């Protein structure tokens, strides 16, 4: 498995190495891992990659559901190269297990799509004694990406795409209450985690400058899916009422697929995309001091070192 010394270091979001000598970017025959892909947006992203001839790896905690998804995608796309890695990404042992399995099975990794996430109604802790929303929606992205970074760099050009949300604009960031230690709100926990996705992505892009691995984040839109099924009270009701105007998972997958496949994005990094275009994130997301501070905190919480 990739060593903790593979942690990305220092970088500018718009200066990633060109792959023009290798020909135009395509995902055909490239290894693409998608987390949280047993249903919803992740499933449609995995299917779209398979249609384009990629070697797709679905990472999911639900073996039965994900196995059925693999069979469905293979049948629909006639692409036999769709595999499954079973892992609970809400725990750091699960993330490390997924990384070890990806490392064992595949010599290369060209696209990593961090998509798994939840909105959780009641505060709970993982086996690592971390708040569940923060652990799954942010720390899993951070740890999995860093553990797989050596493989991505060896496979370059490569792309890292993380699913954020416009909900990040409603974050109520408090360094002393990031895990709801003092007070917990399911919406605050979720929106803070989506802001964390952007802070992580922008810092990662800087650290990867000039190394032919790009890092971008996407807002898929408000999608009619299983999202919010673990919400409680008025939040759960509000999400269900909002489904009236929500888009399908297929439409929700479009921006992520574009970010993964578009040749014109080969040298674009450190961006936030919605509706297949770059959009401005909140001012809080662009705070470079906060980006560095969250990175350092995430290193401590995950045990990832920075020996380079």
Looking up residue 211, the CATH number of its domain turns out to be 3.40.50.720
Confidence band of 20 (pLDDT split at 50, 70, 90): very low
Confirm whether 141 is a catalytic residue. Answer: no
Q: Residue 121 falls within a domain, yes or no?
A: yes
Q: Is the pLDDT of residue 278 over 50?
A: yes
Q: Is residue 33 part of a domain?
A: yes
- State yes or no: pLDDT of 229 exceeds 90: no
Question: What percent of the chain has a predicted confidence (pLDDT) above 70?
Answer: 84
**Does residue 77 belong to any structural domain of this protein?**
yes
- Say what the pLDDT of residue 190 is: 95
pLDDT-derived band at 247, boundaries 50, 70, 90? confident
Residue 93 belongs to what domain range? 11-18+25-222+251-301
pLDDT at 221: 81
Contact 197, 162 (CB under 8 A): yes
Confidence at 12, pLDDT banded by 50, 70, 90: very low
| DSSP tag of 168 | G
- Confirm whether 193 is domain-assigned: yes
| Strand, coil or helix: 282 | coil
Contact yes or no for 116/36 (Cβ under 8 A): yes
Q: What is the pLDDT of residue 1?
A: 44
**CA-based nearest residue to 146, from 203, 220, 219:** 203
pLDDT at 279: 98
The answer to the question of residue 146 being in a domain is: yes
How many domains are contained in the chain?
A: 1
Residue given tokens 């990806």 in the structure block: 102
- Tell me the residue ranges of DSSP E strands in 220-307: 272-274, 277-278
The answer to whether residue 158 is domain-embedded is yes
How, if at all, do strands 213-219 and 82-86 pair? unpaired
Q: Is residue 59 part of a domain?
A: yes
Give the pLDDT of residue 85: 98
CA–CA distance from 20 to each of 25, 153, 210, 212, 259 (Å)?
8, 17, 14, 11, 18
pLDDT band at 10 (very low <50, low <70, confident <90, very high): very low
- Crossing angle for the helix pair 140-147 and 92-105, to the nearest 10 degrees: 30
pLDDT per position as a tens digit, 107-164: 999 999 999 998 888 999 999 999 999 999 999 999 999 999 999 999 999 999 999 9
Least confident of 49-63, 83-97, 119-133, 217-231: 217-231
Instruction: Give the C-alpha separation, 6 to 136, whole Å.
Output: 21
**Which of the residues 141, 184, 190, 272 is marked catalytic?**
190
Within-domain flag for 63: yes
């Amino acid at each position: 498995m990739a060593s903790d010394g593979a942690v990305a270091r220092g970088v500018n979001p718009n200066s990633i190495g060109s792959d023009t000598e290798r020909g135009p970017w395509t995902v055909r025959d490239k290894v693409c891992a998608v987390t949280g892909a047993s249903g919803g947006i992740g499933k449609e992203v995995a299917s779209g990659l398979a249609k384009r001839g990629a070697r797709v790896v679905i990472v999911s905690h639900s073996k039965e559901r994900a196995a059925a998804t693999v069979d469905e995608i293979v049948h629909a796309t006639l692409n036999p190269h769709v595999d499954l890695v079973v892992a609970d990404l809400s725990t750091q042992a699960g993330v490390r297990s997924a990384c070890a399995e990806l490392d064992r099975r595949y010599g290369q990794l060209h696209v990593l799509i961090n998509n798994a996430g939840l909105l959780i109604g009641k505060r709970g802790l993982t086996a690592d004694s971390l708040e569940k929303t923060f652990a799954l929606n942010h720390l899993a992205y951070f740890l999995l990406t860093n553990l797989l970074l050596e493989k991505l760099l060896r496979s370059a050009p490569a792309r890292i795409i993380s699913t954020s949300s416009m909900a990040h604009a409603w974050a109520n960031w408090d360094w002393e209450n990031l895990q709801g230690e003092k007070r917990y709100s399911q919406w605050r926990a979720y929106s803070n985690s989506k802001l964390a996705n952007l802070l992580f992505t922008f810092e990662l892009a800087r650290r990867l400058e000039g190394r032919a691995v790009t890092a971008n984040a996407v807002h898929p839109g408000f999608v009619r899916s299983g999202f919010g099924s673990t919400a409680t009270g008025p939040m759960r009701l509000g999400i269900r009422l909002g489904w009236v105007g929500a888009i399908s998972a297929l439409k929700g997958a479009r921006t992520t697929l574009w970010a993964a496949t578009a040749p014109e994005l080969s040298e674009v990094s450190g961006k936030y995309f919605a509706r297949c275009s770059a959009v401005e994130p909140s001012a809080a997301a662009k705070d470079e001091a906060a980006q560095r501070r969250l990175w350092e905190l995430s290193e401590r919480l995950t045990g990832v070192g920075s020996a380079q």
